[in-house]
Amino acid sequence: MIRLAKVSEEAGYSHIWVGDSHLIWREAYVNMAAMALNTTKVKLGTGVTNPLTRHPSVVGSAYATLEEYAPGRMIVGIGLGDSSVETMGMKPAKLSYFETTIGQLRDLLDGKEVQLETGKIHVLHPCQRKVPIYIAASGPKMLELCGRIADGVIVLVGVADEYIEHAKEKVAAGAKLAGRKLTDIQLVLWVPCAVSENTSAKDAVKAHVARVVAHPLPYVLDPNEQKVLADIRKTYDYYHHMDQQANHAEVIPDWLVDKFAIAGTADECRRQIERIKKTGIQQIAIIPYSPPGGSREDTIRGFAKAMN
């Protein structure tokens, strides 16, 4: 992870998002500390944590500590909980509970006192500067909530223009309810990605595409997509979440990959990027996958090349 962080910073990436799913991946906050101490300017955030396996007081303390290592470079990335809670036999957080915990987290980061059922708490080492909170969202209600309370939205809806537009409409509606504008909120498009000049990059991202399609979405899937979704639900295994070799990858056709991922040669990826730039998305955050014979480092460098 340290190596990939250095490669990403050298390649010109502005942000690195570190997955938090403690049973299937290495510990996120340990990795973030190592990355922070081995880079100089790239911003770091969880992609994403949650308020169930990580109590808001734990997240607040962790980020306050990380902020001391890398002042001005930390972003809280948080969501309802996906593989991290599903592998525990739990369910994602309810929206009302989630909204409450975000308020608690903001106060703890700012050094304020928070009232819990068990009593009042505060962090003795709060952040010395504001740490933005970006919320991951795919479903319509969650996107609207983001519009009301988030500094940024990590959008997980696919890459097709109409999919992105549906998501933006929901975020904008939430922002309006809170007296905000869509332009007040940073929009990060979360995208599985593979870049290769020699082998099929599409196959490398199919496991991740399966998970995105299975999320609640702010639009209705067409009949062909619905059929694929039914097959995904029959085969999905959270202990193989985002595993390229997972069985659920086999049910994803190539035509669906183009709607939910950036995968192909550098030129093909460049065309996708140019199109997405016109949608109003401020940042494309890739989940790098390695095509056969390649590596995640190849995809990181290939995507950076396609961006330029």
- Is 123 strand, coil or helix? coil
Q: Residue 24 above 60 pLDDT?
A: yes
| Amino acid (one-letter) located at 209 | V
Give residue 211's Cα distance to chain centre.
12
**Residues whose CB falls within 8 Å of the CB of residue 108, separated by 6 or more in sequence, listed in order:** 56, 57, 60, 61, 114, 121, 122, 123, 126
Angle, helices 95-109 vs 56-69, to 10°: value is 40
**pLDDT tens, 179-188?**
999 999 999 9
pLDDT of the residue at 142: 98
Where do runs of H (alpha helix) occur along the chain? 2-11, 28-37, 56-69, 83-86, 95-109, 140-149, 161-177, 201-214, 223-235, 254-260, 266-277, 296-307
Q: Which amino acid is at 185?
A: I
CATH 3.20.20.30 fits 2-307, yes or no: yes
Domain ranges of the chain: 2-307
Could you tell me the pTM of the whole model?
Answer: 0.93
pLDDT of residue 283: 97
Q: Residue 221's pLDDT band (boundaries 50, 70, 90)?
A: very high
Average pLDDT over residues 191-198: 93
Which residues are 206's β-sheet partners? none
pLDDT bin (cut points 50, 70, 90) of residue 239 is low
Please give the Cα distance from 70 to 32 (Å, whole number): 10
Q: Which two tokens stand for residue 231?
A: 């097959």
Residue 212 confidence (pLDDT) above 90: no
Rounded distance between C-alpha atoms, residue 35 and residue 47, angstroms: 14
Question: Measured on CA atoms in the order 245, 247, 250, 252, is the torsion positive or negative?
Answer: negative
238 pLDDT above the threshold of 70:
no
Q: Are 128 and 138 in contact (CB under 8 A)?
A: no
